[in-house]
Amino acid sequence: MAYKTVFTALTQPQDPARPLEYASELARTFDAHLDVMCLGVDRSHANYFEAGANAIILQEAIERARAQAQDIETHVREKLGGNDIRWATTRAVAAATDVGTPVARLARFSDIAIAPLPYAEGRSTQDVLLVESLLLHAGCPTLCLPEGAPTDTPRSIVIGWNESGEALRAVRAAMPFIQAANEIHITVVDPPNHGPDRSDPGGALAVMLSRYGVHADIQVMPKTGGRVGDTILRHVTDLDGDMIVMGGYGHSRFREAILGGATRHMLEHSNVPVLLAH
């Protein structure tokens, strides 16, 4: 099992999370094709201008977005020009509130997408819309990177397991990483007392992985009054983990935004890459 198409979308020529570098190294590792969308974002608010000015200002905004997309594409071509991987670029322009539409259209044909952590400090609303579109509209497993994430293949992977369909899809999407890793840790936080796997939390997943030749250990942990996300992140630190694999947006995005949730917490605070699937 391997990735054959890797996708990333860039809204600026250079990003401190280094999604282009990670995506290109991933494509090299798995001999995959890399698709890069160079996305110019129209951040104007045309509805707020005086009558008669909208058409001119809107055209200027679109031209700026097109120029931005061209600058990004030039940067990508310079970075990948001497590379030994297969790659292609696509230019697109989108309104700030609709960056997900062109992204989802192309990403749905990919095996995995690479994006920055959308809620981390310094990120924008466009980063949030981008990741939500990849997960929810393109249905594409997405690896979200913290700033300065190394491009090395992860050797210690922590699976945040809660028996959900989202978590199982994330594990399946992460199988190329899981099979290449040295350590796999299935982490179950505060399992339900009356769940179907209450006598052996994570056991069925460990059996599934064993049939791929993967040995995984299981840790069942109490929530200890805090957030599930905090518990997992502390566990990742204790294990010196390189990646987290978990389901994304098990609750609605509105609930995650207002009340918080494990997905939102991870996408804001993780210091290692997080692979999500919905």
Both 178 and 251 in one domain: the answer is yes
Both 164 and 247 in one domain: the answer is yes
In a domain, 170, yes or no: yes
Please, where are the H alpha helices in the chain?
A: 19-29, 54-80, 100-107, 125-132, 165-173, 175-180, 203-210, 228-239, 253-259, 262-269
In a domain, 221, yes or no: yes
Query: Which residue, chain included where needed, has tokens 């210091």?
Result: 271
Both 10 and 139 in one domain: the answer is yes
The per-residue pLDDT for 255 is: 45
Which of 105, 120, 145 is the endpoint of a domain? 145
Which of 111, 145, 179 is the endpoint of a domain? 145
Give me the domain span that covers residue 133: 5-145
In a domain, 150, yes or no: no
Both 224 and 113 in one domain: the answer is no
**Residues in a beta bridge with 157:** 184, 243
Which of 145, 165, 185 is the endpoint of a domain? 145
Q: Is residue 72 within 8 Å of 136, Cβ to Cβ? A: no
At a CB cut-off of 8 Å and minimum separation 6, what does 102 contact?
A: 37, 39, 92, 94
CATH number for the domain spanning 96: value is: 3.40.50.620
Both 181 and 241 in one domain: the answer is yes
Write down the pTM of the prediction: 0.90
Measured between alpha carbons, how far is 149 from 217 in angstroms, rounded to an integer?
Answer: 25
For 167-207, the pLDDT digits (tens) are 999 999 999 999 999 999 999 988 776 666 666 889 999 99
The per-residue pLDDT for 258 is: 40
Question: Which range scores top for mean pLDDT: 44-58, 60-74, 164-178?
Answer: 164-178
